[in-house]
Structure 1
Amino acid sequence: MTNNTIHDRATALLAAYDTVAPLAPLTDAEPDLSVPRAYAIAAEVMRRRAARGERVVGWKIGFTNRTIWDEYDVHAPIWGCMYDSGLIRADAAGKAEMHVSHLHEPRIEPEIAFRISRTPDAGMTEAALLGCIDAMAHGFEIVQSPFPGWRFRPVDTMAAGALHGGFVLGPWLALPAADHAQRLPELQHFTMALHSDHGIADQGTAANVLGGPLSALRHFVQGLADCPHGRGIAPGDIVTTGTVTRAFPVAPGQIWTSQIDGVPLRGLTLRCI
């Protein structure tokens, strides 16, 4: 794939996201699209979004939930940037509203997010990674697929910014070093339930996310070192670690709530508008 092709693919993805026009999977035209080239396309999209004023606020890790790999025919985690233009902060009570009508076939994913205080290194243990984090939060990631019907190959999702649409961030919980011994097992064993205004949609456990959110972070840190993206992990970044439950379609007018047991984080209430 030439630099011109990378440019063209990035142009097509940006146009799809900006206009909500559907886009055929990139692999329909480029069946041999490689992982490094897919992330090169994503990096070009990131550069253009930054050039027009959007600020990268962190990273999303996708497809960390092994229980849904067969559903999407994706069997390894991916990652992409998050931007200030898609970040919604819930209030102190955990309530937020988010516009979803401008997204492609959006779906909701309840997740755990970390705030990075020190750039982590590849090969760190989960305990060492916790020392690079100063806070954690619960959040809802809203994912989207510009590829109609959520039909794609893994490399398509890599090029498409890991299908990130937006993120609803709940209140932060500080993680002082004195609490690390308690938080480590909590982050491996908590449970999370996702409710719609029609009842419980799904529930899951920390183990669904590659064994726990810190494990997902460890995979991401190593993966980014192996396949650079044009930007590393920086202090202040938000890193959201993947859905604990299955992902569900969302539409304006719906209300979604979550409940977490086993870790002291507030559940959220999201009104889709």
Structure 2
Amino acid sequence: MLMSTQANRYAHQLLTARADARQIPCLTRDAQLSVDDGYDIARRIADLRIAQGETPVGRKIAFANRKTSSNYGAREPINAPVWAYIYDATVRYSDNNHGLQSLKGAVQPRIAPEIVFKLGSAPKANATVEDIADCIEWMTHGFELAVCPFPGWKFEAADAVAAFGLHGSLILGEPHMLSAGTRRHLGDILTNVSVSLSYSDGEETTLHSAGFGSNVLDSPVHAVWHLHQMLKTQPQFPSLAAGELIATGTLTDAYPIKAGQTWSTAFSGVALPGLTLSFV
């Protein structure tokens, strides 16, 4: 376990790098840090951000995509999901599923299409996947803008946890309220969902990649259940609560983006509209 002075030092280092939009060496380059150490740093960061006026509005799950998560990790693959807070300052809604996003201050930005839930109630301690689904008030599609302060997107799991879960911002589409019947089958529905991800640098649009709900720990609903289980082992953090937004993890890999591009998605297998997001 890190000493509090060490955790505070790393927390201030990461927050300063974020404010200055600059890269820094991995924390694990010169220190033996575990994932638990990363969460200790993340706890200090959350305290500091809250003290500065930001409000956590939910959590994001990272490295939940079994097809791509093992591609990350400088020394060893990252084979288990992690989570981080998202804040009122980093989450916004698109206008009619279209948005414009500045990349100013975004360090090595990448785009990640996700399913996002809002919890209408808190899961009970022993919640099953079905219980988790019953807690969901609405779902939507979101683009996460992932950022990385570590050169070349090379890091270990502890680095990623400490560095805000690599969260930059989250742009949400139109929320869709869920009926009781839909919630009963939501896990299976989202297991079978697919998304296509396209981009353009000008007038021509190119299909870039595709992703599937089954990639995300078998289903985005399962990903929330997994987060619920993780939090039971982390008493320094509150459990999931009513009103939280949960970004469940990217359906595809996270891809580099640049100003002048427009990225868009289309879904099949679920009644969700795609998103179109232009970067400046």
After TM superposition, the score normalised by the length of structure 2 is 0.93
- Conserved 8 A contact 2:187-2:219: no
- 1:55 counterpart = 2:79: no
Cα 1:228–1:108 shift into 2, 3 Å: farther
- Conserved 8 A contact 2:36-2:158: no
Cα 1:257–1:119 shift into 2, 3 Å: same
The equivalent residue for 2:6 is 5
Aligned-pair CA distance for 1:122? 4.5
Alignment of 1:160-199 (within 5 A): 160-197=163-200, 198-199=205-206
User: Which one of the candidate residues 219, 237, 248 is aligned to 2:226?
Assistant: 219
- Conserved 8 A contact 1:65-1:242: yes
**What is the aligned-residue RMSD (CA, Å)?**
1.3
The equivalent residue for 2:262 is 255
The equivalent residue for 2:143 is 140
Separation in 1 of the partners of 2:84 and 2:259?
A: 25
- 1:79 counterpart = 2:86: no
Task: Give 1:55's aligned amino acid.
Answer: T
Separation in 1 of the partners of 2:145 and 2:83?
A: 14
Task: Give 1:75's aligned amino acid.
Answer: N
- Conserved 8 A contact 2:42-2:161: yes
- Conserved 8 A contact 2:187-2:222: no
- 1:238 counterpart = 2:221: no
Separation in 2 of the partners of 1:123 and 1:105?
A: 39
What do residues 32-90 of structure 1 show as CA deviations (whole Å, max 9, x unaligned)?
x1222210100111111111111111100000001112311211100000011111211
- Conserved 8 A contact 1:121-1:221: no
The equivalent residue for 1:114 is 117
Alignment of 1:95-110 (within 5 A): 95-110=98-113
Q: Which runs of 5+ in 1 are unaligned?
A: none
Task: Give 2:3's aligned amino acid.
Answer: T
- Report sequence identity in percent: 34
Task: Give 1:262's aligned amino acid.
Answer: G
Decide which moves more: 118-127 or 253-262: 118-127
Cα 1:145–1:122 shift into 2, 3 Å: farther
Aligned-pair CA distance for 1:176? 2.4
Task: Give 2:90's aligned amino acid.
Answer: G
Q: Which runs of 5+ in 2 are unaligned?
A: none
- Secondary structure of the corresponding residue to residue 241 of structure 1: strand
Decide which moves more: 224-233 or 148-157: 224-233
Aligned-pair CA distance for 1:170? 0.7
What do residues 190-232 of structure 1 show as CA deviations (whole Å, max 9, x unaligned)?
1011111151111011110010101111111101111245333
Task: Give 1:103's aligned amino acid.
Answer: A
- Conserved 8 A contact 2:134-2:184: no
- Secondary structure of the corresponding residue to residue 37 of structure 1: helix
